[in-house]
Structure 1
Amino acid sequence: MDKKAIRNFAINARNILIARVGAKLAKLGVTESGIDEIIQIDSSLIEIKGNRERFSGKDIVKRAKLVEELQKREANSDSKIAYNTLVEEVAYTWFNRLIAIRFMEVNNYLPDRQRVLSSESIGKKEPDIITNLLETNLYQEFDEPTKKIIVDLISDGSAQAVDELYQLVFIRVCNNLNQQLPNLFEKIDDYTELLFSISYIDDNGVIASLLTIPEEDFDVSLGGQIEIIGWMYQYYNTEPKDKVFARGNRKIRADEIPAATQLFTPDWIVRYMVENSLGRYYIDQKLANRFETRTEKEIADEFGWKYYLPSAEQPEEVQLQILDERKNKSDFALQELKLIDPSMGSGHILVYAFEVFLQLYEAEGESTRTAVEIILERNLFGLDIDKRAFQLAYFALMMKGRQYNRHFLMKNLQPNVYQIPDNFGISESELQLVHFNFPNQEKGQVDLTLILNAFKMSPDLGSLISFEGIDFKNLKSGISKETVSFFDEELKQIIQVAELLQMEYTIAITNPPYMGAAGMNKELAAFVKKEYPASKSDLFAIFMERLKTLLDPLGYYAMITQHAWMFLSSFEKLRLKINQQTIINMIHLGTRAFEEIGGEVVQTTAFVMSPIKHLNYTGSYLRLVDFPNHEEKEKKAYKAIQSGKSDYLFSTLQDNFTKIPGMPISYWVSENFINSFENSLLGDIIVTREGMATADNDRFLRFWQEIEFNKIGFSQSNYLSGYKWFPYNKGGKYRKWDTRQDFVVNWENNGFDIKNNKDPKTGRIRSHNYNGEYALKAGLTWSSLTSGNFSARYSPGGYMFDSKGAMGFKKDNSDIYIILGLLNSTVASAYLKFFSPTLDYKVGDIILIPDLDTDKLSEKVIPIVQSCIKDVNLYSQSFENYWEFKNHPLT
C-alpha cells in the first residue's frame, strides 16, 4: 500500500475542499466574521448585499437552511467556531463520498457499473459516466428540463459547462447511492449541495490527486484492503491534530476531541487483539469438549491466526478454574456472541473481527452469504463520537458484506455501528407535547428523560456514558411513527445507542482515545474525577475501566494503550483494580509501534484481559521495547509467537506484581529482583522532597557568575541575615557525585517576590522545603527529568532546589555518602529504569529502591563506590572556596 500517496492525497484534499467550501460560502455572503444581509429583488431572486452575487429558485431556500444551521451552531459556540465546524463538516462529507465512490468503482460495486471518477480506458481523463451519460439509466432518471440542460452542457463543451455537468451528475450518483448506503450517502437537497464544487478536468484538483493512489490499493481482487479507508481517515486528521496540539494551554474543545485522540491501529496489532480475544473465546469453547485432541496453537494455526499467543503453562488449581469457565462457555451459540469496539474510529478492528467471525461460521458449516448477514446484524457493534469516523466504519463493513455477497447492498441491512448522538434536536419541552404509548408510562417517561439528559454530554464523553436499569423493551414499545413522527428516527437512534451502552458483550476491543487530564475541558474533567478516580489521569486508562463494565464476566477485552498505566504512581489505584483481574497476555511495544503513520513516539502496550481473577495465573508477555521500529517489532513478535520461545518472551506470575511497591506490571524482572523488596527500602533511611517551580526563571534565577560573591548566601545564618541570592539545584545533564553549581535563586525576604508573582501560572512553593527542617540542608540531588541514565550528586548545605532538581535527606544516623554510592550504582539504575521507564525520576520512585547494604554489593562494586565517596568527601570540604576558585574545572 502506497501510504505516501495516500497521505499526500488526504492532506491536500482536505485543504482543497475547505478552500472551495469557503469560497462558495463567501459568494453566499457567509464568512468567518458574519452573515451578509440580502436584498430581495423579487419573489424568486435575491442579491447578497456584500458582494452583489444573485441567487434564485431553490438556491434561496438552500441558503436559508445554511443560515439557520449556522445560527443553531452559534447558540452552542461562538460564530468563528460555528463557521469553521460547518466548513469542516461539509468538506469531510464530500471527502468521504469521494473515497467511497473510488473504492466502489475500482471493485465494480457501483449500480450502473460506470466509473464516476475515472475511466477503464488507460489515459482517458473523462470519467466513463460522462462519456456514456446519455445511454445510462442515470440519465433517464432526470426530468425533461434537466435532460435539456444536460444536452446543452454537453454541446457547450467549455470548462465551465463541463464542471457544471459533472457536478450535476455527481450529486445524482450520490443521491442514488442513498438507497444502498443511506448512512454515508444521505439525500442531498440542502446547503451541502450548494457548497459542492469539484472538477475532473482540474489537474490540481481533488479527483486528480485521488487518482495518483495506485488502483490496486483499492482493488480487493488484487490484494487491496478496506484498510485503506482507515489510513485516509488517519491522514485527513493530520493537520487538525497538529493544530490541537499547538493550542497552548487551552483545553481541548469537544469538537476537537476526535482529531486530537484518534490514532490508526497497525494491522498486525489489530490481528493480535482480535485473535487473542474473540479467537481465544472460540478456542475455549472447543477445548471444553473432552473429545477435542487439538492444542490451542493447532486450532489457531488451522485458522491462520499468526498472532495468537497460547496460554502459558499453569499450576493445577488454575487449570481447574479455567476448565470450569470453559465448560460454561461450551453451550454458547455463535450467533449470541457479541463484540463491541466503543471507540471504533474508521472500523479497522471491526473489519478484521468480521473476517474472524466469518471463519468461525464457515468452520461451523454455515454458508458464507448467510454468515455475512448474521455477523453484521448480531455479532458486531461499534460506537464513536465522530460522524466522519462512523460513516467510514459503516462503509467499511458494508463493503465487507458486498465482497462476500454481491446482492448484499440491496438488502437494506444496517450494521450495528453508530455515531453517539446528542439530544440537541429534542428538547424536554418538545417531549412534554408528545404522548407515548409506553406499557409502563411512568417508567418510560423517566427512562427517556434520563437518556436525553445523559446524551447532552455525548460530544465530550462518548462511550463513557453508561446506563443501568433502563427498560428498553418498554421504551421501544412506546415509540412508533404514529405517535412521534416529527422526530421518530432521531429518537429511535438515541434509544438504540443507549441500549448498546447498557448491553453486555462477550468481547470488547478498542484502541481508545489518548488525552491527558491537562487537555480535558471542564465538563469532561469533572465527570472523570467523579466516575473514574482511579484512572482519571488519561482517557485511555478510563476506557480500560469502561471496557470491563461492558463485559460478560466470562469474556475478554483487548486494547492497545499508552504503557504509562503499567508503571506511573498516578495509575497505582488502577493497577490495584487490574490485579483483581487476569492479564492473559501482553505485547509491550514501547515507542514507534506506529512509526509508519508519521513517527509517533508514544510508548504503547497491547494486551488481553479477563475480568475474572485467576489466583497464581501465569501470563505471557512479549517485550518489544528495545526494537527500533514497527517493522522489527512485528517481525520479532511473529517469530516469538510461532516458535513459542524467545529471549523477549516471558511467562510471569501476575501475583508477583503485588509484591513490589506500587504494583508495577513488572513481567520481565527476575525472582531475585522481586524478592529484594523484602528488605527495607531507601524510604526508611532517607526522605525525599520535590523543589519549587518559580513560574518565571528569567526573572528569579541567575548564573552565579552574574552576582557579586558577597551577595550570595549559602548557609542557614546567611538565610536568616537577609541575603537575596542562594545556590540553586536545578537538575541538568548527566553528572555524578558533585552538584551542579550553576544557578542562584532570589529568595530574599523568604521568597516574597516568587510567592507574590502576579502571574504564577505554574509556580508553586512548598514551604516545608524552605521554612522547615530541610531548609538549606545538605543532602543528595538529581535531575528529575533526563533523556539518559540517572545520576545523583552530593549537595552541601545552603542550597535551595527546583522541581527538576529534587533532593533527598538522610534520616537518623544513615550515611549520606553510602546512599549516594548506591544511587549512582548500576544496581540503583536498574531499579530506577524499572520504576521510571519514562525517565522522569520522581521523589516517590527514589524511596522505593531496596536498601541494599554495602556488604551485599559485589567485590567489583565496593571499591568503586568507596573511591567515589572519598572524592565527594574531599570536594565537599572545599565547598566554600569554590565561589572564589575561578579556574576550577567545574566552573
Structure 2
Amino acid sequence: MKQKLKSLLTYFINEFSPTEKKISVQNLSLFFSILLASFILKKRRTTSLEEFRTFSEYYTAFSPELEIIKKRFPDLVVALHVTESHINPELFRTIIEKLKFVFDDEDDDFDNIISWAYQFLKKDLEKAAFSKIGKDNVKIQNSDLLYTTQFFTDNYMVKYLVNECLSDFNHTNIDSIVIIDPASGGGNFLNYSFECLFRIYKKKFPNWSDTEIVDCILTNAIIGYDLDSNLSKIASLSLFVKACGYAIPSATTSIKIYGGIPDDTLGFLNPDVTSNTIHKSTFKSQLSKIKKEEKTKVFVTNPPFMGKRDMDTALKSYLIKNYPESRGDLCVSFIQRAIQLMNENDVLGLVAQNSWMYLSSLKEFRKLFLAKQTLKECIDLGTNAFEDINGEKTNVALCVIGNSEIKTSRFYNLKYRNISEKKYSILQKNISPELTFELNQNQFLKNSHLEFNYQLEHRFENIEGLPLYSAFGKPMQGTSTGNNSEFVKYAWEVNGSPDWKLVSKGGGFSKWAGLNYYKVHWGENAEIIKANKGSALRNIDKIPSTQLVYSDTGTLGLNVRILIENQVFIASGPGIQVLNGDKYAHLAFLNSRVATFLLKLINPKFTISAGYISKIPVATNILDSKFIAKISKECLELKEKYLKNKLPNFEFQHYDYLSIKNIASHIENLIIADMESDYKRLFLESKIEKEIRKHYNFNATELKELQSVVGESPFFNTKKSFKCTAEAMDLLISASIDWNCLSTSRAINGYSVGSESIFEDLSYKLNVNPKALFEFITLNISQFKNTKDKYFNDLLHKIILNEIGVKKISIYKFDIIMLSNLIALLQSKYAFLRDYDNLSERVIWILQIHHKSSFFNKPLVSYCNDSLTVGQAHHG
C-alpha cells in the first residue's frame, strides 16, 4: 500500500506543481490526510467505494466520514476546502481513481498510511534543506531542522519495539502504564501501541464496552509530542482514525498528541518543554501528572538524527552545555533526556543510530549509561533497514533499555542481511544462534572506550590477548583538500601538468592495485593545498615512507593497495606505514576476509578510520610470513598485469595492435587471458585465507560466525557441477564487466564483503567451485556473443586512442583530426577493419557514447562536425 501511495503522490506533485500554486507542503499534507482518513473510515464500514468524479460528489459520498472527522478536527476540514480550490477537477478525478487503486486490496494494512503521505510529500523540502549544507558554512536551522531529521519508522520496527516494551506487562498491571512518544512524527508508534493496549484492556475489562476502552486508553495511556506542530495534527488524526476502527471516541475524549510552538528548536530536549494546549493540558503538565501519579512510563520513539557538524550554533551550544556526555549528537541527547525521566520500572524502546554504542567520542555517555541502565535487547540492523531511505544516517539499531538490576544484554546482529531478511527475522523472532549474543553488560566496562563490541566480548576468547595492528603498522589520515571538486581531477583532465600529483583517492573497491585515475593539485610539497583556507594537511612527511593505501569507504570491507611511485594520498585514500613485518604480508592480511570480519566487529560505520584498522587483533607470525608474502606478491603481479590492459587506469599501456591476425581468435584470447588472471588471483587469495585462519585457530562455532558475515572462498566449495547455458553464462559475464572490460566491484551475494572477481560472483550465484566454471567458459567461449562484443568495442576504443596520439591517459598533445582521415587510417593499417560494415558509424558511437562512459563522463576526446578534438576541454 505504501508504494501505491508513493506512486500516487509522485504523480500529483509532478502534475500539480505546488511551488507554482504557492501551496505549502503542510497544507497539502493536511489535504491528503483528510482524504485518506475519509477513505479509511469508509473502507472499514463497507468494502465498496461509490463512483464519483468531482469534489461535490466526493463530499456527498463521504458525508458520514467527513462529519466524524469534522466534529473532532474542524480546522483540518477547513484546510481541505482551502486546498481544494487550487486543484483542477480533472486532476482531482485522476487522484480519486488512483486512491481507489490504493485501497483496492482487502487485506492491506491502513495503519500509518496518513503519516506516510506527509513523509512522501516533504521529500523535495528535505532535499532542498540538505542541499544548503556546506555552502558558505550554512547550517540546518528553523523549519529545515524538521524536514531533515524526520525519518518515519517502518512497521516491522514499530511492532518489534512496542511488543518488547510491553512484554513485561499484562492484563493485571496494564492500567499502570503510559505509552509516551516524545518524537511522535506521524504517530506510527502510538497507533500500534493503541492496538496492543486495546487487546490487553479487553481481556482485563471484559464487561467494558469498546467505547469505554477506547476512551480510557486515549485519556490515560497514550501521550505524544512532536516539535513539528503540523505533524502532530496529522498524528492526532491518524490515531483518531485508528481508534475509530474499534469505536468512535466520545466527544469529550482528548487525543493527547501535542505540537511544538513556533521558533522552538529544542522541543523535548528542553526540561521546560513548551507545546500547544489540549483541553487545558500541555505535554509538560502531562509528564508532571504521570510523575505525580507514579505511573510506569513506556517510551517508544524514533528520535531525530543529526550530528553537530550540520547544526546551527544555538542548538549545538545548548546540547553541549546541557547534555555534555552526548557530544552534541541530537539522537544521543534525546536518549539521554529520556533516561533522565526514567524511574526504576520504566522502559525505553527506540530506533537509534548504532554509533552510540561504538564511537570513542561517546565514551562518557556510555559510562553514564552503564552505571544506571541496561541495554536489555538490541537488534543491530546496520544500513538499508528502512524501505524508503538509506545511507550512513540509517545505520541503526533497535534498542530496548531499562533500569533493571539484572545486567544481561541480548544482541542480534542483522547488519549483513538484506531488508527482506531483516523484516522476516524480526517479525517472526527467528534469528539464528550464530547471530545471537547474550552476555553480562558489565563486560563492556573492561575495554578502554567502553564500546559495546558484543561479538568480540562474547566469543573469540583466543584473540583477546593478541597484539593489535597498531603494533605492526600505522594507518594514517590523509590530507583534506577542503574542496575536492577543485583540487582533485582525473589524470587526463590535467594532461601532465607538473603541479598535479598522482593521488590515492579511493572512490571504489579494489584490492592489491588499482583506482589510480586521479591527480591532486599538490605542487612540490602540498603548498598549493596548504594555501586553500579549508584544507587540513596531515601526514605529509610520512608519504615517502608509506607503502600501502586503502579506500576509506568500508561498505564492502577493507581493500588495500600498494602506493605506487611518486603517488601521494589524501583523506579518502589514506595511507599505511609498515613498521614491522613484510609489506606484502601486510597487504595480504588486510585484504583477507578475516581482516574485514574483525574490522566489522569493531567498526559500525561506513567510513573506515585509521583508528579502527589499528585495533584489528593480529595473530602471531602472519605479518612476517614468507609464505603469505610470496603469494601476496603473485596476486599483486597478476593485478598489475591485468590493469596494464585496462582503461582509464594510470598504469594502462597500449600493445602492438598491428600483430592481430585473426580478430575473432584474438578477442577470445583476450577474454580467456582476463578470466585466467581472475581465476588465478582468486585461487591464490583462497590459499592466503586458509593460511591466515590457521594462525587464528578459530573453532567451528567461530568459523560459522565468520562465514555468516563475510562468506567463504568459493574454492572451498566442493560442488563440481551446475546448470547453465552458454547464452546465460555470456549474459552473466557481460553484466559483470564495465565499458573497459574491467571486472566491476560488488557485494558478494548475501554477505558484507566485496569482490571484483567474476569467478567469485558466479561461484556464489551458481553454487559451484570456480574450477568447473573456468572449464565451462574455456569450452564455450566462441558462443559468448555479448561478451565478445564488449571486448571488441574496448579494443577499437584503444586503437582509436593510439592512432590519434593518446599513448598515455595523462600525457597527450592537443589536436584536431578529421573523422574521414581517421577512418582511412584505420582501414589502411588494420586488415580486420577493412571489410568491417559501417565502421564510421561504429567509430562515432565509440567516440560519443563508449568513450564518454569509459572515462567517467569526463571525455578526453570529443566528436563534433565530422572531427575529433583531443583534449578540447582538458588540454591544461
With the shorter chain as reference, the TM-score category is 0.5 to 0.7
Instruction: Please say if residues 10 and 232 of structure 1, whose CA atoms lie closer than 8 Å, have aligned partners that are also in contact.
Output: yes
Amino acid at match of 1:274: V
> Offset of 1:843 from its aligned partner?
0.8
Do the aligned partners of residues 816 and 355 (structure 1) sit closer, same or farther apart at CA in structure 2, a change above 3 Å counting? same
Q: Identify the residue that residue 139 of structure 2 maps to in structure 1.
A: 251
Q: Identify the residue that residue 723 of structure 2 maps to in structure 1.
A: none
Instruction: Please say if residues 516 and 539 of structure 1, whose CA atoms lie closer than 8 Å, have aligned partners that are also in contact.
Output: yes
Amino acid at match of 1:547: A
* Superposition pairs of residues 241-280 of structure 1, within 5 angstroms: 241-249=126-134, 250-280=138-168
Separation in structure 2 between the aligned mates of residue 629 and residue 194 of structure 1, nearest angstrom: 40
> Offset of 1:123 from its aligned partner?
6.6
Among candidates 572, 575, 591, match of residue 807 of structure 1: 575
| Matched residue SS, 2:114 | helix
Separation in structure 2 between the aligned mates of residue 872 and residue 207 of structure 1, nearest angstrom: 59
Do the aligned partners of residues 121 and 749 (structure 1) sit closer, same or farther apart at CA in structure 2, a change above 3 Å counting? closer
Among candidates 355, 360, 367, match of residue 195 of structure 2: 355
Instruction: Please say if residues 479 and 537 of structure 2, whose CA atoms lie closer than 8 Å, have aligned partners that are also in contact.
Output: yes
Among candidates 605, 619, 633, match of residue 397 of structure 2: 605
- Does 1:624 find its partner at 2:403? no
Q: Identify the residue that residue 145 of structure 1 maps to in structure 2.
A: none
Note the residue ranges of structure 2 that are not aligned, 5 or more in a row. 641-649, 656-676, 678-741, 743-807, 809-876
- Does 1:841 find its partner at 2:608? yes
Separation in structure 2 between the aligned mates of residue 548 and residue 22 of structure 1, nearest angstrom: 45
Instruction: Please say if residues 566 and 665 of structure 1, whose CA atoms lie closer than 8 Å, have aligned partners that are also in contact.
Output: yes
Among candidates 94, 100, 110, match of residue 37 of structure 2: 100
Q: Identify the residue that residue 765 of structure 1 maps to in structure 2.
A: 537
The sequence identity of aligned pairs, in percent, is: 22
Do the aligned partners of residues 534 and 799 (structure 1) sit closer, same or farther apart at CA in structure 2, a change above 3 Å counting? farther
Instruction: Please say if residues 180 and 409 of structure 1, whose CA atoms lie closer than 8 Å, have aligned partners that are also in contact.
Output: no
Q: Identify the residue that residue 868 of structure 1 maps to in structure 2.
A: 632
Amino acid at match of 1:465: N
- Does 1:756 find its partner at 2:517? no
Do the aligned partners of residues 756 and 498 (structure 1) sit closer, same or farther apart at CA in structure 2, a change above 3 Å counting? farther
Do the aligned partners of residues 605 and 239 (structure 1) sit closer, same or farther apart at CA in structure 2, a change above 3 Å counting? same
Residue deviations 1:209-255 (CA, integer Å, cap 9, x gap): 564345466x8xx7753432233233232333333344453433321
Separation in structure 2 between the aligned mates of residue 733 and residue 198 of structure 1, nearest angstrom: 48
- Does 1:181 find its partner at 2:23? no
Do the aligned partners of residues 248 and 342 (structure 1) sit closer, same or farther apart at CA in structure 2, a change above 3 Å counting? same
Separation in structure 2 between the aligned mates of residue 379 and residue 867 of structure 1, nearest angstrom: 66
- Does 1:464 find its partner at 2:269? yes
Q: Identify the residue that residue 425 of structure 2 maps to in structure 1.
A: 636
Do the aligned partners of residues 582 and 844 (structure 1) sit closer, same or farther apart at CA in structure 2, a change above 3 Å counting? same
Do the aligned partners of residues 233 and 89 (structure 1) sit closer, same or farther apart at CA in structure 2, a change above 3 Å counting? closer
Instruction: Please say if residues 624 and 633 of structure 1, whose CA atoms lie closer than 8 Å, have aligned partners that are also in contact.
Output: yes
Separation in structure 2 between the aligned mates of residue 655 and residue 746 of structure 1, nearest angstrom: 50
| Matched residue SS, 1:678 | coil
Amino acid at match of 1:863: F
Amino acid at match of 2:40: F
Amino acid at match of 1:637: I
- The CA RMSD measured in Å over matched residues stands at 4.7
Do the aligned partners of residues 698 and 386 (structure 1) sit closer, same or farther apart at CA in structure 2, a change above 3 Å counting? closer
Q: Identify the residue that residue 828 of structure 1 maps to in structure 2.
A: 595
> Offset of 1:574 from its aligned partner?
3.9
> Offset of 1:526 from its aligned partner?
2.3
> Offset of 1:614 from its aligned partner?
3.4
Do the aligned partners of residues 798 and 553 (structure 1) sit closer, same or farther apart at CA in structure 2, a change above 3 Å counting? farther
Do the aligned partners of residues 786 and 128 (structure 1) sit closer, same or farther apart at CA in structure 2, a change above 3 Å counting? closer
Separation in structure 1 between the aligned mates of residue 477 and residue 297 of structure 2, nearest angstrom: 46
> Offset of 1:543 from its aligned partner?
2.2
> Offset of 1:508 from its aligned partner?
0.5
Amino acid at match of 2:399: F
| Matched residue SS, 1:404 | coil
Do the aligned partners of residues 522 and 402 (structure 1) sit closer, same or farther apart at CA in structure 2, a change above 3 Å counting? same
> Offset of 1:417 from its aligned partner?
1.2
> Offset of 1:693 from its aligned partner?
1.8
Amino acid at match of 2:331: F
Separation in structure 2 between the aligned mates of residue 639 and residue 494 of structure 1, nearest angstrom: 35
Q: Identify the residue that residue 720 of structure 1 maps to in structure 2.
A: none
Q: Which structure's CA Rg is the greater one?
A: 1
Separation in structure 2 between the aligned mates of residue 22 and residue 874 of structure 1, nearest angstrom: 59
Q: Identify the residue that residue 546 of structure 1 maps to in structure 2.
A: 337
Note the residue ranges of structure 1 that are not aligned, 5 or more in a row. 24-83, 110-117, 133-168, 287-332, 423-456, 473-486, 713-723, 877-882
Among candidates 415, 418, 426, match of residue 258 of structure 2: 418
Instruction: Please say if residues 8 and 98 of structure 2, whose CA atoms lie closer than 8 Å, have aligned partners that are also in contact.
Output: yes
Q: TM-score, normalising length from structure 2?
A: 0.63
Separation in structure 1 between the aligned mates of residue 24 and residue 511 of structure 2, nearest angstrom: 56
Separation in structure 1 between the aligned mates of residue 634 and residue 400 of structure 2, nearest angstrom: 51
Q: Identify the residue that residue 816 of structure 2 maps to in structure 1.
A: none
Separation in structure 2 between the aligned mates of residue 186 and residue 735 of structure 1, nearest angstrom: 55
Among candidates 473, 477, 482, match of residue 690 of structure 1: 477
Amino acid at match of 1:694: T
Paired residue total: 641
| Matched residue SS, 1:279 | coil
Among candidates 196, 217, 231, match of residue 375 of structure 1: 217
Separation in structure 1 between the aligned mates of residue 83 and residue 490 of structure 2, nearest angstrom: 60
> Offset of 1:105 from its aligned partner?
4.2
Do the aligned partners of residues 378 and 816 (structure 1) sit closer, same or farther apart at CA in structure 2, a change above 3 Å counting? same
Q: Identify the residue that residue 820 of structure 2 maps to in structure 1.
A: none
Instruction: Please say if residues 119 and 128 of structure 1, whose CA atoms lie closer than 8 Å, have aligned partners that are also in contact.
Output: no
Do the aligned partners of residues 17 and 282 (structure 1) sit closer, same or farther apart at CA in structure 2, a change above 3 Å counting? farther
Separation in structure 2 between the aligned mates of residue 875 and residue 17 of structure 1, nearest angstrom: 54
Amino acid at match of 1:765: L
Residue deviations 1:643-674 (CA, integer Å, cap 9, x gap): x8644344344344444564443334585535
> Offset of 1:202 from its aligned partner?
3.4
Separation in structure 2 between the aligned mates of residue 9 and residue 699 of structure 1, nearest angstrom: 41
Q: Identify the residue that residue 466 of structure 2 maps to in structure 1.
A: 679
Q: Identify the residue that residue 178 of structure 2 maps to in structure 1.
A: 338
> Offset of 1:854 from its aligned partner?
0.9
Q: Identify the residue that residue 406 of structure 2 maps to in structure 1.
A: 614
Separation in structure 2 between the aligned mates of residue 506 and residue 347 of structure 1, nearest angstrom: 17
> Offset of 1:347 from its aligned partner?
1.0
Q: Identify the residue that residue 6 of structure 1 maps to in structure 2.
A: 5
Q: Which moved more, 1:507-516 or 1:729-738?
A: 729-738
Instruction: Please say if residues 438 and 458 of structure 2, whose CA atoms lie closer than 8 Å, have aligned partners that are also in contact.
Output: no
Instruction: Please say if residues 254 and 279 of structure 2, whose CA atoms lie closer than 8 Å, have aligned partners that are also in contact.
Output: no
